[in-house]
Structure 1
Amino acid sequence: MHPLAPHRYLRLLRHRARREAALRSWVRSSEVGVVVLATLTGAGVGVLAWGMGAAAHGLQRLLYGLGPEARLSTTTFLPSWRLLLVPVLGGLALALLNWAIARWRAKPPVDPIEANALHGGRMSLSDAVVVGAQTVVSNGFGASVGLEAGYAQAGGGLASRLGAAFSLRRGDLRILVGAGTAGAIGAAFDAPLTGAFYAFELVIGTYSIGALFPVVASAVTAVLVARSLAAHSVQVEALVPSVIDTSAYPLALAVGALCGLSAILLMRGVGLAEAGLARLIPSPMLRLAVGGLAVGTLAQVSPVALSAGHGALHLTLVTEAPAWPVLALLLVKALASILSIGSGFRGGLFFASLLIGGLGGKLFAALLALLDPPGPDPLLMVLVGMSAFGAAVIGAPLAMTFLALETTGSLAVTGLVLASVAVSGLIVRRLFGYSFATWRFHLRGESIRSAHDIGWINDLTAAQLMRRDVAQVPQDIDLASFRRAFPLGATARVVAVDAAGCYAGLVSVPEVHAAPPEVTCLAPLLHHRGTVLLPGMNARDAMAAFGLAEADALAVVEPASHRPVGLLTEAHLLRRYGEEVQKRRREESGLWSGTG
């Protein structure tokens, strides 16, 4: 029994409930409250980034026998059998992990972009555990994938869970999820501006003053926590000239164009590899083992094929090399990334795209040096290629521009990079239309091209909008009886049904009353016999149906029985759609309603 008297215990519970309700109300109605939640999220994400990075690097040290400061992608002393065997074991380990996860939960994880686009920012924290474990195993065993997907999933999942605990409204929850991913990417790269604009461009889908403060608070807090724990996975420093000659700009534009075209090839290569391997090797376990074997075989050529490539990117920035070895490294890394993701390893192409782009920029400089010595500054071309290829694959040009700024501290280089990412992004947008994340959604059958909130459109269905109290008449009723049952002004439309109660057409009451005497039945007055709406049809599809039918109103019928269940007018649909659009615009612009 509780030591307090029952009445005192109940009073204590009520007092606690009132305090919690007051706190939730303050957070929901206060912009500062969301910023506080974003700061707490950033602190948690900084710790998670440290834990995941330490776990993956610890696995690499254990499995490959690396020293504390060694990087897997630059090791040259590992025996061939270890390079070949460990990725295969990684594929088998991941397959067993996936099998265990499938027995625990069958629903696939929802990532932050998908959550903000379709689910109003609602994510499961268990998804973060699943994706985090899968990416750590994949990266730790040497597959050519990065941990950034796991970081972003952890940041978004933590933010969503915290926001749900305070019952945040839809728009605020989407911003908080973006803030969580900003902290994750900022902590991963020790770059708060990069993390913030990653969130704006990819996860929130737009920039607004209302979103600025939570996103920046989370990104800065996560970076500070990561620095205190030595958690950042990337320390890239480059000494560049303070003044950039204007002749470098045409070269940067050319590199941007080449990166855009190459990025399209890489993303299509991932899709083709995934589909081809699934057809050739139906078993997921065997497919992962074969993918690990392919990565291990490429690692015999160069260890750059292994893991994300942090050490290799550092060497790319600080060393010079002839054109043909650089080309070989670029092809090895691109193939390793395609085969890793195509065979089922979990992770992303964020860091791999930076390395591939950096190698591409170095190759470009080396080829120009052969044609016209001494050629352009290789370091500048590496930075331009890194940013342009990353922007083309990830779909975040400003985030990549700020990554170059935070890497070099040079505004002159940032202008050069901005020109190149604009070109690469434009080429991918016009010729391909997807970033890597949205391309993956497309392959799964989802129509998501950005994180803009379209989930509310799916929630706005014909069943929700229709009138249910719609009069029905048999289609064989005579017009005199119809006129007596429905005088002018009683209703505008009536649904006609056949003998089995199935939809037969829509009848206009004024048209029946105005029919000439020779018309004695409803048959010639039935409209839209073959065009109906289904209860689950969303607002956008319903508007398309109205446009194709050139109708002012349509019946809503059950798909199986074809029995009418309601009526929806185009005017009501457009009014409700407009109201929802205005509501989302107010949320995106940071206008607060001031109510809980």
Structure 2
Amino acid sequence: MRPFAPHRYVRLLRHRLRRRAAFRGLVRRSEFAMVLLAAFIGVAVGLVAWGMGAAAHGLQRQLYGFGPQMRLSTATFIADWRLLLVPAAGGLALAGLNWLIRRWRPKSPVDPIEANALHGGRMSLNDAVVVGAQTIVSNGCGASVGLEAGYAQAGGGIASRLGRAFALRRADLRILVGAGAAGAIAAAFDAPLTGAFYAFELVIGTYSIAALFPVIACAVTAVLVARGLAAGTYAVETAVPSVIDNAAYPLALVVGALCGLSAILLMRGVGLAETLLARLLPSPALRLLLGGLAVGGLAQVSPVALSAGHGALHLAFVTEVPAWPVLTLLLVKALAAIISIGSGFRGGLFFASLLIGALGGKLFAGVMAMLAPPGPDALVMAVVGMSAFGAAVIGAPLAMTFLALETTGSLAVTGLVLAAVAVSGLLVRRLFGYSFATWRFHLRGEAIRSAHDVGWVNDLTVGRMMRRDPRRVPVETALENFRRLFPLGSVSQVVAVDEAGRYAGIVSVAEAHAAPPEEGLAPLLQHRGTVLLPGMNARDAIAAFELAAADALAVVEPASRRVLGLLTESHLLRRYGEEVEKRRREESGLEAGPP
């Protein structure tokens, strides 16, 4: 038996580490390797989307007792006691699951938009497991939420984990997280263009050539995997006329405006429901129980209140219904969605917004038919309403436009949709300022409105930029001694401190040499009450400089006010400008620095 040789083991370990580093470097430097990595992520995301959809649908079948080809939102033969009690029991089950999750992982999950905006694309796979389990339980028990949040969380989490394994740059990791989310949404809706532009508009925050190829590769691969597994989770199919009358364009603009205003009411309603229920019912378990009972009560009116509403959307496209029943279904679905999310069920409004918008489009067509027979084509208005309302809630107008194109295959209808989503998106942007995702961030206190990378601003702190060895002088120093210690040209500003070493002000050396000899330092002290803290970010520091009209400010320890350093406005602006230019080059695909 060969004796153990430590030097051979060390050489082998070094060789393996060099090979691993070389492989990582190849992925970081090669655009082609990034595309292959994104395609591999698409395979994983397609499998996950299929698994989550099958799990939620299987749970619904077991709880409500319907066949494999039936959809919960259109099942009319389910016993009333099931419709009423199953969502409430699911709420209690979710409360128990949340209690276990808080003991295991008390930190709130970071979703792909937040990760790309604040954390440079860093996400946790544990968060994907948490959100996936919560959305499956919520959707499976019949709460009026979709699985899109779980899909996107899983796609982004898988992409982030692999990207960090290859030590990707911040910009590349953000693109890869967007690609993972694109694959998830594309697989869920069987719509690769929809998934890709969902990523560009919501998760990456911008479109660039550098991001195009990985995002498309992941979206297409995920769709192919989902089709191969016959997932068909949220696939929407319909047929529309191939020729659209130009008179339909003004009507589409009106539908877009109505959808934008209605979407604002829906999002406000979710926030109001959360606030009121949290105030009236402090217990999360009690909120979920009563929320489930309320959804079950709405299901007594129509099963459209249950789950995401896939089957109901299909029926909305293929059946003709009078205006008043459509209004009833619309109100039932909107109230169910507000109560479900407001009471604490986990999920998204993506698919619910599509159903509400389609019902709203059909309602508009029905009202117009009563006012001016025969009215517009109800199916066309349903597609327009679906896309316009979805764009207003989700905040992705091009993604919704491509969803209409991939749903109908009609460029003529896509033109109508584009006009409607532009109007609805503009109204929401001007009157509300948030999509549903960013509105949720706002309610939590996060100051982000999109996935644009602002995390680097928080990383660029005063503590990192300050000069740590500023010249100090006791405030009681005589002016003549100060001039001898700091002759003209030696330094621009000197920090004055009191007997206890606390900050007292800043002295300009030029002003000290120009002052009358009989004056001390006290009259020369500047910015006594304006200081910087080491944890302040660059934007806050710039605002402090503008308010104080200062060339330099001291950085002090918050509690003791001891001087930690000095920061000049010129250095701050230069560093901020360098970072802004670096992000601009990364977003445009021009960044080609060393890994």
TM-score, normalised on structure 2?
0.98
Paired residue secondary structure (1:532) = coil
Distance in 2 of aligned mates of 1:501 and 1:15:
54
Over residues 236-288 of structure 1, what are the superposed CA-to-partner deviations in whole Å (9 max), with x where a residue is unaligned?
Answer: 21111111100000000000000000000000000000010000000011111
Deviates more, 1:6-15 or 1:16-25: 6-15
Give how far 1:2 is off: 9.9
Over residues 183-207 of structure 1, what are the superposed CA-to-partner deviations in whole Å (9 max), with x where a residue is unaligned?
Answer: 0000000000000000000000000
Distance in 1 of aligned mates of 2:6 and 2:502:
61
Distance in 2 of aligned mates of 1:590 and 1:427:
32
Give how far 1:135 is off: 0.3
Over residues 347-382 of structure 1, what are the superposed CA-to-partner deviations in whole Å (9 max), with x where a residue is unaligned?
Answer: 010000000000000000000111111110000000
Matches within 5 A, 1:192-207: 192-207=192-207
Distance in 2 of aligned mates of 1:594 and 1:570:
28
Paired residue secondary structure (1:540) = helix
Distance in 1 of aligned mates of 2:593 and 2:260:
45
Distance in 2 of aligned mates of 1:293 and 1:213:
46
| Aligned residue in 1 for 2:501 | 501
Distance in 2 of aligned mates of 1:23 and 1:531:
51
Distance in 2 of aligned mates of 1:552 and 1:6:
59
Paired residue secondary structure (1:219) = helix
Paired residue secondary structure (2:496) = strand
Paired residue secondary structure (2:121) = coil
Deviates more, 1:230-239 or 1:551-560: 230-239
Give how far 1:473 is off: 1.5
| Aligned residue in 2 for 1:349 | 349
| Aligned residue in 2 for 1:525 | 524
| Aligned residue in 1 for 2:385 | 385
Matches within 5 A, 1:367-406: 367-406=367-406
| Aligned residue in 2 for 1:334 | 334
Over residues 217-253 of structure 1, what are the superposed CA-to-partner deviations in whole Å (9 max), with x where a residue is unaligned?
Answer: 0000000000001123123211111111000000000
| Aligned residue in 1 for 2:444 | 444
Distance in 1 of aligned mates of 2:275 and 2:499:
49
Question: Residues 152 and 512 (structure 1 numbering): CA distance in 2 closer, same or farther, change over 3 Å?
Answer: same
Matches within 5 A, 1:73-222: 73-222=73-222
Identity, in percent, stands at 79
Paired residue secondary structure (2:553) = strand
Paired residue secondary structure (1:316) = helix
Question: Residues 500 and 8 (structure 1 numbering): CA distance in 2 closer, same or farther, change over 3 Å?
Answer: closer
Give how far 1:106 is off: 1.0
Over residues 313-346 of structure 1, what are the superposed CA-to-partner deviations in whole Å (9 max), with x where a residue is unaligned?
Answer: 0000011111111111000000000010000000
Is 2:555 the partner of 1:552? no
Question: Residues 409 and 572 (structure 1 numbering): CA distance in 2 closer, same or farther, change over 3 Å?
Answer: same
Paired residue secondary structure (1:565) = strand
| Aligned residue in 1 for 2:280 | 280
Distance in 1 of aligned mates of 2:415 and 2:530:
55
**Residue 287 of structure 1 aligns to which amino acid in structure 2?**
R
Give how far 1:5 is off: 6.3
Over residues 96-121 of structure 1, what are the superposed CA-to-partner deviations in whole Å (9 max), with x where a residue is unaligned?
Answer: 00000000011100000000000000
**Residue 118 of structure 1 aligns to which amino acid in structure 2?**
L
Distance in 2 of aligned mates of 1:529 and 1:288:
53
Question: Residues 497 and 236 (structure 1 numbering): CA distance in 2 closer, same or farther, change over 3 Å?
Answer: same
| Aligned residue in 2 for 1:487 | 487
Distance in 2 of aligned mates of 1:567 and 1:231:
60
**Residue 529 of structure 2 aligns to which amino acid in structure 1?**
G
Distance in 1 of aligned mates of 2:215 and 2:235:
22
Distance in 1 of aligned mates of 2:142 and 2:309:
10
Q: Is the Cα–Cα contact under 8 Å of residues 502 and 563 in structure 1 kept in the other structure?
A: yes
Distance in 2 of aligned mates of 1:323 and 1:338:
23
Distance in 1 of aligned mates of 2:149 and 2:204:
16
Distance in 2 of aligned mates of 1:231 and 1:350:
18
Question: Residues 141 and 470 (structure 1 numbering): CA distance in 2 closer, same or farther, change over 3 Å?
Answer: same
Give how far 1:311 is off: 0.2
Distance in 1 of aligned mates of 2:480 and 2:4:
78
Question: Residues 185 and 515 (structure 1 numbering): CA distance in 2 closer, same or farther, change over 3 Å?
Answer: same
Distance in 1 of aligned mates of 2:52 and 2:3:
43
TM-score, normalised on structure 1?
0.98
Over residues 167-192 of structure 1, what are the superposed CA-to-partner deviations in whole Å (9 max), with x where a residue is unaligned?
Answer: 00000000000000000000000000
Q: Is the Cα–Cα contact under 8 Å of residues 480 and 517 in structure 2 kept in the other structure?
A: no
Distance in 1 of aligned mates of 2:6 and 2:453:
48
Give how far 1:492 is off: 0.8
Deviates more, 1:163-172 or 1:543-552: 543-552
| Aligned residue in 1 for 2:57 | 57
Distance in 2 of aligned mates of 1:385 and 1:115:
31
Give how far 1:549 is off: 0.8
Matches within 5 A, 1:196-275: 196-275=196-275
Q: Is the Cα–Cα contact under 8 Å of residues 257 and 423 in structure 2 kept in the other structure?
A: yes
Unaligned runs of 5+ in 1: none
Give how far 1:592 is off: 4.0
Over residues 467-517 of structure 1, what are the superposed CA-to-partner deviations in whole Å (9 max), with x where a residue is unaligned?
Answer: 010111222222112112211112111111122222111110111001024
Distance in 2 of aligned mates of 1:234 and 1:335:
22
Distance in 1 of aligned mates of 2:38 and 2:232:
20
Matches within 5 A, 1:471-486: 471-486=471-486
Give how far 1:16 is off: 2.5
Over residues 58-100 of structure 1, what are the superposed CA-to-partner deviations in whole Å (9 max), with x where a residue is unaligned?
Answer: 0000000010010000011111110011000111010100000
- Give the length in aligned residue pairs: 595
Paired residue secondary structure (2:456) = helix
**Residue 99 of structure 2 aligns to which amino acid in structure 1?**
W
Unaligned runs of 5+ in 2: none
Distance in 1 of aligned mates of 2:9 and 2:170:
35
| Aligned residue in 2 for 1:324 | 324
Distance in 1 of aligned mates of 2:268 and 2:75:
30
**Residue 530 of structure 1 aligns to which amino acid in structure 2?**
G
Paired residue secondary structure (2:565) = strand
Q: Is the Cα–Cα contact under 8 Å of residues 479 and 517 in structure 2 kept in the other structure?
A: no
Distance in 1 of aligned mates of 2:9 and 2:538:
50
Distance in 1 of aligned mates of 2:560 and 2:55:
56
Deviates more, 1:467-476 or 1:380-389: 467-476
Distance in 2 of aligned mates of 1:23 and 1:481:
62
Distance in 2 of aligned mates of 1:15 and 1:40:
27
**Residue 397 of structure 1 aligns to which amino acid in structure 2?**
P
Give how far 1:13 is off: 3.2
Deviates more, 1:490-499 or 1:139-148: 490-499
Distance in 2 of aligned mates of 1:525 and 1:12:
66
Over residues 119-146 of structure 1, what are the superposed CA-to-partner deviations in whole Å (9 max), with x where a residue is unaligned?
Answer: 0000001000000000000000000000
Q: Is the Cα–Cα contact under 8 Å of residues 39 and 214 in structure 2 kept in the other structure?
A: yes
Give how far 1:11 is off: 4.2
Give how far 1:4 is off: 8.1
Distance in 2 of aligned mates of 1:469 and 1:13:
43
Distance in 1 of aligned mates of 2:6 and 2:107:
43
| Aligned residue in 1 for 2:590 | 591
Distance in 2 of aligned mates of 1:304 and 1:187:
24
Distance in 2 of aligned mates of 1:3 and 1:293:
71
**Residue 512 of structure 2 aligns to which amino acid in structure 1?**
V
Distance in 2 of aligned mates of 1:298 and 1:502:
65
| Aligned residue in 2 for 1:464 | 464
Distance in 2 of aligned mates of 1:594 and 1:512:
46
Question: Alpha carbon RMSD of aligned pairs, Å?
Answer: 1.3
